[in-house]
Structure 1
Amino acid sequence: MDPKLVKKVKPYLAIVFMQFGYAGFAIIAKTALDQGMSNYTLSIYRNAIATLVVAPFALLLERKIRPKMTVSVLWKIALLAFLEPVIDQNLYYMGMKHTTATFSTAMCNILPAITFLLAWALRLEKVNVRRAHGYAKILGTFATLGGAMIMTLVQGSIIGLPWTKIEPNSESADGVVITTQDPVKGALMITVGCFCCSIFYILQAITMKSYAAPLSLTCLICMAGMLQGIVLTLAVERGNFSIWSIGWDTKLLAYTYSGVICSGVSYYVSGIVMNEKGPVFVTSFNPLNMVIVAVLSSFIFAEQLNIGKVIGATVIVFGLYLVIWGKTQDQRETAIIDQETNHSPNGV
């Protein structure tokens, strides 16, 4: 296979696999939360496991390239940990408790739009409004948001699938009654969480420029998030020691899966890809997560698929294509400019 082609395809494959990982976690987390798992301990154990998994690789592979720690970088790591491992994760889990796995992942599709606007405002994302690909990125970003809103708000006729005839949200397979849903409260929590997550991606991209050791940065963020989460949990859940218990059940699977895949692997992958493609590229693939979860939830939770979800998913895929096309044209234009600069007589 052509090495140049492999290099071009790798970022796309990495982000797509990351979205599959997120989708699997949404299913596992929803099951565990419905069984009474605390969102606070999920966040803590997730980051503790991620720290344990990533730390050996960071110590071994980055011992020669790890930059010196400065006060500025330390404060950024503390803020990164507070934004995503603490605020975003807890609000997302609480929002999921009040909704469904499909709804919560659908709401997360506001993330690309928020990230795009913030990155544009901070000049981390270049948008040439005089060129078609500039408009494509703008239109694609808001198309993904519109598709998510269609999936969330538009119902339409039920698509009769043979495996969704069980009445959803009545009772789980092991007899645990699912929490009463409150879509408005859940949507507000997830929206605030997405805003924090968007700032996290922007700040992570900035931090990577001064601390170019992605594994070490991932480890430090997870460790700081774990410590901050412990303080928060002790303050909120005073005297409730039962939430800390660990058994061989779905909760342990949620802790382990989220720690290894959603924190350890995803922070590292997103950091690497953002160095090359920018934060908007990473978050623009977020809609795929919702489509995957919608399909899986129809099998696992017997969630009904309707016309609104299908139309919304179609709009999301279209919007995602526009963003990718716009980013590709940006790269080609930049490559041409660099090539012309390098071949110019004066080198300017």
Structure 2
Amino acid sequence: MGSLGAILDQSKPFLAVLFLQFGISGMSIITKFALNQGMSQHVLVVYRHAIATLVIAPFAIVLERKIRPKMSLSVFVKILLLALLEPTMDQNLLYTGMKYTTATFTSAMTNVLPAFVFLLAWIVKLEKVNIRKLHSQAKILGTIVTFGGAMLMTLINGPMLPLPWTKSNNHHVFSSASAVKQDPIKGALMIIFGCFCWAGFIILQAITLKSYPAELSLTAFICLAGTIGGSIVALAMEAGNAAVWSIHFDVKLLAAVYSVRYSPFI
């Protein structure tokens, strides 16, 4: 029994990551479905982080009331930059790229994220690389393979799977916004630039946590700043189209609420 318990303990991190990946895959599918039904990707970013702020802020206020450091100008500037990189730039680019491609394509392309994080960490000297050591060689090889796989995805254009919601008799469900022409190259470039912003966010977040070690509070501040920044982008991109802000108890609301759980910084 002792050996079995040890095996189960060692497998917990793997199972956690596995279930997380299933959840993220579900998020991609639900998000793509909401976008196909006419939801603006820019409005989705706003709603997602507004809900995240409301969910996380109470926990941050209660659980970190005794350990929360004082806000300094340096930390405040970093929070603004973090909100610009990940909630605002990354997710607007990512969801727009998803509109031009598919949920599967987007999930596959975001696999370049670890490679970007490795390269940026190397540049800012958070990651040490010794070409003579095996683990460094493995990281470099993994980075090359990751980029190669992402580039290969841009050249593949497989057949459309005959899923229930792709049938022509369900076409009335989709609005005119779902008729965006598929453009894998354009979508891939947006997703790659989004991942680059995401990688920058991860690096800056690690640096910020050293001077502001209150994870929940930092997340709440980033979500709040991201909501404000996303609102500015959405108002600019959807000017004169007030209808895109309407939301009901449907897949659009589900996309906004579901994605909060799998936000990259929660």
TM-score by length of structure 1 reads 0.68
Quote how far apart the aligned CAs of 1:9 are: 5.7
User: 2:187 — aligned with what?
Assistant: 186
Question: In structure 2, do the counterparts of structure 1 residues 7 and 54 end up closer, same or farther at CA, with 3 Å as the change threshold?
Answer: farther
Q: Measure how far apart 1:171 and its partner are.
A: 4.2
| 1:116 to partner: Cα distance | 0.8
* Number of equivalences: 260
Q: What residue in structure 2 maps to residue 47 of structure 1?
A: 49
Gaps of 5+ in 1: 159-163, 269-348
Tell me the residue number matched to 1:138: 140
**SS of match in other structure, 2:262:** helix
What one-letter code is carried by the residue in structure 1 that aligns with 2:206? A
Give the Cα–Cα distance (whole angstroms) in 2 for the partners of residues 222 and 5 of structure 1.
Answer: 38
Instruction: Tell me the residue number matched to 1:200.
Output: 201
**Which residue identity is paired with 1:129?**
I
Displacement of 1:62 after TM fit?
Answer: 1.1
Task: Identify the residue that residue 110 of structure 1 maps to in structure 2.
Answer: 112
Cα 1:64–1:7, aligned 2, differ >3 Å: closer, same or farther?
A: farther
Question: Percent identity among equivalent residues?
Answer: 56
Matched with 2:236 is 235
1:205: how far off? 0.8
Residue number among 87, 90, 94 corresponding to 2:89 in the alignment:
87
Q: 79-88 vs 130-139, which deviates more?
A: 130-139
| Offset, 1:18 | 3.1
1:35 touches 1:178 (CA, 8 Å); kept in 2?
Answer: no
Cα distance 1:119–1:183, how it changes in 2: closer, same or farther (>3 A)?
same
* Shift in Å, 1:102: 1.2
| Contact kept in structure 2, 1:73 and 1:211, CA below 8 Å | yes
Report matched runs for 1:287-326 at 5 Å: none
How many Å separate the matches in 2 of 1:215 and 1:10? 23
C-alpha spacing 1:13/1:77, structure 2 compared with 1 (3 Å)? farther
Whether the aligned pair in 2 keeps the contact of 1:45 and 1:255 (CA below 8 Å) is yes
2:20 is aligned, of 18, 33, 38, to 18
Does the 8 A contact of 1:106 with 1:152 survive in 2?
Answer: no
How far off its partner does 1:33 sit? 0.3
Cα 1:102–1:88 change in 2 (3 A) is: same
Q: Do structure 1's residue 262 and structure 2's residue 262 form an aligned pair?
A: yes
Kept in 2, the 8 Å contact 1:81–1:225? The answer is yes
Q: CA deviation at 1:24?
A: 1.1
Work out the CA distance in 2 between the residues paired with 1:196 and 1:187: 14
Corresponding residue for residue 224 of structure 2: 223
Distance 1:136 1:227 in 2: 41
CA deviation vs aligned residue, 1:236-278 (integer Å, no higher than 9, x gap): 222211111111111010011112x122xx413xxxxxxxxxx
- The residue aligned with 2:253 is 252
Q: Distance in 1 between matches of 2:25 and 2:164?
A: 22
Q: d(CA) in 1 for partners of 2:169 and 2:144? A: 36
Matched-pair contact (CA < 8 Å) for 1:31–1:250: yes
Q: In the superposition, relative to structure 1, how do residues 12 and 59 fare at CA in structure 2: closer, same or farther (>3 Å)?
A: farther
- The code of the aligned residue for 1:203 comes to L
1:119-165 Cα shifts (integer Å, max 9, x gaps): 01111112232211111121122223323333442468x8xxxxx45
How far does residue 170 in structure 1 lie from its aligned partner after superposition? 5.8
**CA shift at 1:8, angstroms?**
6.4
Q: In structure 2, do the counterparts of structure 1 residues 149 and 90 end up closer, same or farther at CA, with 3 Å as the change threshold?
A: same
Query: Which residue of the other structure, out of 82, 95, 98, is the alignment partner of 1:96?
Result: 98
1: distance between equivalents of 2:243 and 2:109? Answer: 31
SS at match of 1:267: coil
Scaled by the length of structure 2, what TM-score is found? 0.87
1:60 positional shift: 1.4
Deviation at 1:196, TM superposition (A): 0.8
After TM superposition, the structure 1 = structure 2 runs for residues 24-43 of structure 1, keeping only pairs within 5 Å, are 24-43=26-45
- 1:75 matched to 2:73? The reply is no
CA distance in 1, matches of 2:153, 2:61: 44
Of 117, 120, 123, 1:121 maps to: 123
Q: Distance in 1 between matches of 2:163 and 2:61?
A: 50
* Aligned-pair CA distance for 1:51: 0.6
Preserved contact between residue 170 and residue 178 of structure 1 (Cα < 8 Å) = no
